[in-house]
Each structure stands twice: as C-alpha cells, then as structure tokens.
Amino acid sequence: MRIGIFAGDTAGRTIDDVVAEARGVAEDGFAGYWIPNIFGLDALTVLAVVGREVPRIELGTAVVPTYPRHAMTMAQTALTVQAITGNRLALGIGLSHQFVVEGMWGLSFERPVRHMREYLEILTSLVRTGKVDFDGETMHAHGGLNAAGAEPVPILLAALGTRMLELAGGVADGTVTWMTGPDTLATHTVPTITHAAEAAGRPAPRIAAGLPVLVTDDVEAGRARAASVFKVYGSVPSYRAMLDREGAAGPADIAVVGDEAAVRGRLEEAAATGVTELVAVEFASHKSPDRARTRDLLRSLL
C-alpha cells in the first residue's frame, strides 16, 4: 500500500512554507503530497510551484470543488499543472457540500449526481483525448485543448455514497475518501467501486483512504484532540452518513490513535480492506514530540 501525506489547509501559510513541507515529505520517501482546495491558497496553482521545486513525489488535490470551475477550465488547469510538474498530478475533485455551494457561492445544488456525471463526461474526455463534444442537461462543452508535454491526468472522485462510488469506478480513475472507517471501506467502498470499474471495463480503481493518524502514549488525550480538530465533520451530512455506517459516534472514533504497535496494526487492517493507498493526516501539534513519532511510524511502513 502506497502512503502519502495530507498536509491540510494552506490558509495562513506562504508558498515557501508549503514547498518546504512538500520537500520534507519527498525526502522522507512518501509516495504523495496532498493538499485541499478550501479557503487558503489555490491548490492547483500551489502544486504547480511545488512541482518545479520538489522532484519525484506525486502531487494530489483532495479535493478541488467542481461547481466554481467549468469542466473545461478544470481540464485546462489540470493539464497545465501536469505539464509543469512532469506528469505528477493526481486530480482529486469533489462536489463540496450544499451549504457551501448554495450558501457561499449562490449556486444550485440540485441533483448533484447528475452534475458530477456531466462534469466527468467533459473532464475525462479532455484530459484523456484533448477534445470534447458534449451536450448534457445542464452542461455543454465543445472544443479541444493542447497542453504540450501533458499526459492524461488521473482523476480521483471524492465518493462516499453508492452512486458517487459507481461514477468513481465506472468513469473516473478512482476515489479519495475521508471520514470513512475500515469496516465501511471493506464492506461498502472497495466492493462498490471495484464492481463499477469491472462492469465498465475500466482498470482497477485507485482507492486513496484519508485517515487521521496519531502515535501517542496518551490515547485519551489523542482522541480528545481528534474530536476537537475534526469536530465539523461529525455534522456534515455526507461524512455523518459514513460515520453512522461505521457505527462511529464521531470523528474521534475514526482516527487511528495509539502507540506504534497499535497504529501499525490499525493501518495494516486498513490496507487489508483493499485500499491502494493511505493518505495520512498527521494531526499532532507541531510542537508535540508525538508529531515526530507519527512521522517515524509512517516512514517505517514504506
């Protein structure tokens, strides 16, 4: 199982901060460096800079929301970043959430699965063939792109429910998950997306599982920190559904917390579910010695 590091929100950090962090992740031997597109720096722009400064490592978005960017614009930006980075981009995209799409952007969240299906029709055609000719119910795209040096960009769809997982397997190249525990990965995520890919004649999908990880001797304090840091996800409907499916009271129950042996065991269980890669969220305080312990344990699994 490949292991990457999810660096978290870029708000309040400079480009130099992000480049230095990515360089450290690469030097430690991890397979990927992932950042979100939330309310800090633009993720794809940042990864273009990182890719010029930091060699080898895959650079992933987890995730870029689709609603604010037409699929042709997303394709053009992604192919540009692909060319700049020497074809090391993994484009994670997602719907975001109704309260963001409608409340912040003033856009309609009606029939989100339809939105994503049409979006993927345009995006995948452009990044795989360089051209598109599509008329859907709500989206239209006709034209082509020519980004010299850019190979097709792998597209990972943030997918939790069944219909989105079917799109991720049947149309995209895989999924990146969050707030999804090992039982749910094993009984829901992996079999659903794998079956969809097989039915569509697509290659075996990438399944990147985002999990909070903390190596510590104070498990109680570690879980309390997880409950605080990830509190918001317990009330977001899509994540709440995954927590309920797992039988988890809240995000703290999904977090992988314990000493080296316990964390190693939990991550090996996650690998056994069929996920292809772990995207680890190191959530210890930067001043805590547990931060270094967590990184050391993750590095030992490479």
- Tally of CA atoms within 13 A in the half-sphere of 174 that contains its CB: 21
Please give the C-alpha separations between residue 279 and each of 47, 159, 275, 276, 298, in angstroms, as whole numbers.
Answer: 17, 15, 10, 10, 11
Q: What is the CA radius of gyration of the chain?
A: 19
Q: In the chain, what are the domains?
A: 2-212 (3.20.20.30)
Residues of 132-166 as b/e, b for ≥16 C-beta within 10 angstroms?
Answer: beeeeeebebeeebebeebebbbbbbbbbeeebbb
Q: Give pLDDT tens digits along the chain (302 positions).
A: 899 999 999 999 999 999 999 999 999 999 999 999 999 999 999 999 999 999 999 999 999 999 999 999 999 999 999 999 999 999 999 999 999 999 999 999 999 999 999 999 999 999 999 999 999 999 999 999 999 999 999 999 999 999 999 999 999 999 999 999 999 999 999 999 999 999 999 999 999 999 999 999 999 999 999 999 999 999 999 999 999 999 999 999 999 999 999 999 999 999 999 999 999 999 999 999 999 999 999 999 99
> Model's pTM, two decimal places?
0.97
DSSP secondary-structure letter at 189? Answer: I
